[in-house]
């Protein structure tokens, strides 16, 4: 959670999600080619100048090539068996919707892909070439950006994060195992309970920036990330992190005082994290219970995934984060 790749777009669209990022994330890396800089808003430039949250990632040819290979492979499977993918893209004839010129509403900049992706999209009527790249249906663009984000995350050893819940669903559903494979992994979604000020929606962005820039805040944020990462590292290694509760509570007490200083009261929200289950000595059900026992974590049932991305060899299942702050409500778990 310390250093994250942000996708699909250049900038966070929801102010609530931006305020969350300023309070909880150390560095957010949106995927922005240099040709996209002219599209950046004054708010983005302000964040660059007044905070250390944003650091643009410039996609390179290798990343675009690997994402292109996986995008073509996945899109071919989708259009060959559209009914299998209807839970993701809708029950209607979404393939025809992708082909409609009127629905080509999202620009993929040319630095993000190779000519093979452009040629594939045009040959299938999925894309329209423009000066900056290619315009496609937003769902297809999100498919591509999911793959590109994971390609970049693999190369840099960090996780992708999105404020679009549908992208998380795509990343998980496309890896569901429908047949036996040698490279399977079981994952479960852990929900970490964190806090925000009770009147979070009313707090001005200026005030949140001031909190982030306050003396000592980044040190306590770093300590929070260190404890947070230590917990999931122990889970990845197959251990049962019994010391997590006490050490986390100690770090959290100091950090939460900074988080809540700008508001009245507190509300909790869930941060979803996909956790790889690697216990050799316990059933999956027992292991999930052991992970969650006593900690501010609730873990759901496990699902089995396979690596269906031939070229993007994602390893960091446990570091796939997602939070939706469009409707912040107290959470009772």
Kindly report, residue by residue over 273-282, the tens digit of the pLDDT: 766 665 544 4
What is the spatial distance between Cα 265 and Cα 164, in angstroms, rounded to a whole number?
27
What value, to the nearest 5°, has the Cα angle with vertex 231 and ends 245 and 328? 75
Strand partners, 274: 189
Q: pLDDT-derived band of residue 163, with 50, 70 and 90 as boundaries?
A: confident
What would the mean pLDDT of 127-141 be, rounded to a whole number? 95
Identify the residue with better confidence: 331 or 117. 117
Query: Is the per-residue pLDDT at 292 higher than 80?
Result: no
Highest averaged pLDDT of the listed ranges 1-10, 43-52, 279-288: 43-52
Q: pLDDT-derived band of residue 57, with 50, 70 and 90 as boundaries?
A: very high
Query: Is the per-residue pLDDT at 249 higher than 90?
Result: no
Highest averaged pLDDT of the listed ranges 46-60, 214-228, 235-249, 286-300: 46-60
- Please give the radius of gyration of the chain, using alpha carbons only, rounded to the nearest integer: 20
Query: Is the per-residue pLDDT at 137 higher than 70?
Result: yes
Task: Answer positive or negative: Cα dihedral of 251, 252, 254, 259.
Answer: positive
The region of weakest confidence among 107-111, 214-218, 246-250, 281-285 is: 281-285
Identify the residue with better confidence: 120 or 230. 120
Both structure tokens of 143:
């498919």
- Considering the chain, what percentage of its residues have pLDDT values greater than 90? 38
Query: Is the per-residue pLDDT at 169 higher than 80?
Result: no
Identify the residue with better confidence: 17 or 242. 17
Task: Answer positive or negative: Cα dihedral of 49, 55, 58, 59.
Answer: negative
The region of weakest confidence among 148-152, 196-200, 240-244 is: 240-244
- Considering the chain, what percentage of its residues have pLDDT values greater than 70? 69
What would the mean pLDDT of 274-303 be, rounded to a whole number? 58
HSE, side-chain direction, 13 A CA sphere, residue 255:
23
Q: Determine the pLDDT at residue 261.
A: 75
Q: Determine the pLDDT at residue 193.
A: 74
Strand partners, 109: 133
The H or E element containing residue 63 is helix 61-80
Task: Look up the pTM and report it.
Answer: 0.82
Q: pLDDT-derived band of residue 298, with 50, 70 and 90 as boundaries?
A: low
The region of weakest confidence among 79-88, 178-187, 258-267 is: 178-187
Identify the residue with better confidence: 135 or 197. 135
For residues 325 and 269, the answer to whether their CB atoms sit within 8 Å is yes
The DSSP code sequence of 10-27 is SS---HHHHHHHHHH-SE
């Amino acid at each position: 959670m310390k250093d994250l790749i942000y996708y699909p777009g250049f900038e966070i669209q929801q102010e609530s999600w931006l305020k969350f990022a300023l309070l909880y994330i150390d560095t957010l890396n949106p995927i922005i080619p240099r040709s996209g800089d002219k599209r950046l808003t004054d708010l983005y430039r302000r964040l660059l100048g007044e905070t250390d949250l944003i650091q643009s990632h410039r996609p390179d040819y290798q990343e675009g090539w690997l994402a292109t290979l996986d995008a073509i492979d996945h899109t071919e499977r989708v259009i060959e068996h559209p009914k299998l993918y209807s839970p993701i893209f809708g029950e209607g004839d979404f393939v025809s919707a992708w082909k409609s010129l009127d629905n080509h509403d999202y620009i993929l900049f040319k630095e993000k892909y190779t000519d093979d992706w452009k040629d594939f999209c045009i040959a299938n009527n999925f894309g329209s070439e423009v000066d900056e790249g290619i315009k496609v249906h937003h769902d297809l663009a999100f498919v591509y950006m999911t793959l590109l984000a994971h390609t970049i995350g693999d190369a840099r050893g960090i996780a992708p994060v999105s404020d679009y819940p549908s992208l998380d669903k795509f990343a998980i559903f496309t890896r569901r195992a429908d047949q036996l494979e040698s490279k399977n992994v079981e994952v479960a979604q852990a929900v970490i309970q964190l806090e925000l000020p009770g009147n979070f929606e009313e707090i001005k962005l200026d005030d949140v920036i001031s909190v982030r820039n306050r003396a000592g805040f980044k040190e306590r944020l770093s300590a929070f990330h260190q404890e947070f990462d230590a917990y999931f590292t122990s889970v990845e290694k197959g251990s049962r992190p019994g010391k997590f509760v006490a050490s986390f509570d100690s770090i959290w007490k100091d950090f939460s005082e900074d988080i809540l200083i700008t508001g009245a009261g507190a509300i909790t929200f869930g941060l979803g994290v996909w956790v790889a289950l690697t216990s050799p000595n316990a059933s999956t059900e027992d292991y999930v219970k052991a992970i969650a026992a006593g900690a501010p974590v609730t873990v759901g049932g496990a699902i089995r995934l396979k690596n269906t991305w031939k070229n993007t060899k994602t390893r960091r299942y446990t570091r796939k984060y997602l939070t939706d702050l469009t409707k912040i409500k107290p959470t009772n778990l």
